Amino acid sequence: MKVLILPGWHASGPQHWQSEWVRLHGDRHVEQDDWIWPKRGDWMARLDEVLLTEPAPVALVAHSLGCQLVAAWAAHTQHAVRVAAAMLVAPPDIERPDTPPNVVSWRPIVRRRLPFASLVVASSDDPHCELDRACGMAGDWGSEFVDAGPRGHHNADSGLGAWAEGRNLLARLIARAGAG
C-alpha cells in the first residue's frame, strides 16, 4: 500500500522521521506550493490531486499541520474512499491564542469523524498542543489515541531518527483497517 507523507507547517527537513520514511520505505512526500503561509484550501486541493495519481487504497501519515489538513480534507473531499487509514502525529492546537498568524486561517479545527481508520499519536510535552486537547481531537475524529510520553513535537528536534516505533504503529493501523 502506498503511504502519502503529509508534512506540517515549514515541511519536514532532512532529519525528520517523515523524510527518513520517504528514503527508507519509498513513501511519497506530498509537496505543497507554500510551506510558510499555507492556505487550507490549496493544501486540500493538492492532497486530492496527488491522491488521484495513486492506486487506492492509500495510507496517509500526517505530522503537525498535516493532521489538520487530513481532518479538513476528509470533511470536504469526494475521494475519502481512496484512503484506508491515516496516522496523525502531533496535531497542533491551532485554536490557542499563541497560534502563529501564518496558520490562524486554518481555524476552527474541523472535528468531524474521519471516514477511515485513524490513529492520533501525541506527546505529553508537545509545545504546540496539550495532551488533553490532542486526546479530544482524537475522540472527535473517531481515532485511536496513543500517548507517546515526552517526545516533544515529534519532529527532528525529538531525535526520533527513522522512528521504528511509529512505523510499527502504522503497520498495526493498516492491519486494523483490513488493508494490509
Helices 17-25/164-176 angle, 10° precision:
70
Local structure of residue 29 (DSSP, 8 states): E
pLDDT in tens, 19-37: 999 999 999 999 999 999 9
d(CA 65, CA 10): 9
Give the pLDDT confidence score for residue 179 in this predicted structure.
66
At 19, which amino acid appears? S
DSSP, residue by residue, 114-126:
PSSEEEEEE-TT-
Q: What is the pLDDT of residues 153-170, one digit of tens each?
A: 998 888 898 999 999 999
Residues 19, 54: Cα–Cα separation, whole Å: 19
Instruction: Write down the pLDDT at residue 157.
Output: 85
